[in-house]
A and B are shown apart, each in its own frame.
Chain A
Amino acid sequence: ETGVTQTPRHLVMGMTNKKSLKCEQHLGHNAMYWYKQSAKKPLELMFVYSLEERVENNSVPSRFSPECPNSSHLFLHLHTLQPEDSALYLCASSQGPSGTGDYEQYFGPGTRLTVT
């Protein structure tokens, strides 16, 4: 595998379910991100992890819970979601401030989530 991968690619869940989205990067980066793309809104940043520590949480509801166990993996745990949370969830990675080179972000293919 190369680049940034995400699983599952599609997910349908009920409002009472608990599910997790997984992201893995094979680029040797040390910063990872979750973004949300809704039908009516521009892409918006949800969470940033740099060196496995969360550095930003853009006022995201607590029903979204991120986890970054190491620099290559990022999870987004979902519970008691609402229908308006249906969206495309994109993961990205880049070098962090302590790395060398630039901060170009590379995105995974996304998970299309539908909440029923």
Chain B
Amino acid sequence: GIQVEQSPPDLILQEGANSTLRCNFSDSVNNLQWFHQNPWGQLINLFYIPSGTKQNGRLSATTVATERYSLLYISSSQTTDSGVYFCAVDSGGGADGLTFGKGTHLIIQP
């Protein structure tokens, strides 16, 4: 099956810093999503981005499908950005279920 690798596994930053999270995947995909998991376990949708670039406030994401990677950018980090960020992909024909990476654990210190 498809492999998903996220880096870095852990990231500690000061409030106000910028960060880049990376997701590499081993096969072509028809679905790529970025999630933020809050301390209670809820997965919050950040981006649905199988290709191209999207922006939402301080967050943006880029997926280069031909090179099989995606990047999540967080600018002007706030303490509420802390948590685990997951990349997940689906390489099937749709509604095949997502394969998740191990996540990046982000800590933003005040």
- Whether A associates with B in a native complex is yes
Which residues does A use to contact B, with CB under 8 Å? 31, 33, 35, 37, 42-45, 48, 50, 55-56, 58, 88, 90, 92, 94-97, 102-107, 109-110, 112
The answer to whether B95 touches A94, judged by C-beta atoms less than 8 angstroms apart, is yes
- Tell me what chain B mostly uses at the interface: helix, strand, loop, or mixed: loop
**Pairs A–B under 8 Å by Cβ, sample size 18:** A33-B97, A33-B98, A35-B98, A37-B41, A43-B98, A44-B100, A48-B95, A94-B95, A97-B94, A102-B31, A103-B95, A104-B31, A105-B31, A105-B33, A106-B45, A107-B42, A107-B43, A112-B41
In angstroms, Cα B58 to Cα A110, docked, is 27
The answer to whether A110 touches B30, judged by C-beta atoms less than 8 angstroms apart, is no
In angstroms, Cα B86 to Cα A90, docked, is 14
Contact of B40 among A50, A92, A97, A109 (CB under 8 A): A109
Q: Beyond the given A42-B101, A95-B94, could you list 19 further A-B residue pairs with CB under 8 A, ordered by the A residue number? A: A33-B97, A37-B41, A42-B100, A42-B103, A43-B88, A43-B98, A45-B97, A45-B98, A45-B99, A58-B97, A88-B41, A92-B98, A97-B94, A103-B30, A103-B90, A104-B48, A105-B98, A109-B41, A109-B42
B68 within 8 A of A: no
The answer to whether B42 touches A56, judged by C-beta atoms less than 8 angstroms apart, is no
State whether A48 and B102 are in contact (beta carbons under 8 Å apart), knowing that A102-B31, A112-B41 are contacts in the complex: no
The answer to whether A97 touches B31, judged by C-beta atoms less than 8 angstroms apart, is no
- Tell me what chain A mostly uses at the interface: helix, strand, loop, or mixed: strand
Chain B residues near A105: list those with CB within 8 A. Answer: 31, 33, 88, 98
Which residues does B use to contact A, with CB under 8 Å? 30-31, 33, 35, 40-43, 45, 48, 86, 88, 90, 93-103
Smallest CB-CB separation from B90: which chain A residue? Answer: A103
Q: List the 3 closest pairs (A to B, CB-CB), nearest first.
A: A31-B95, A45-B97, A43-B100
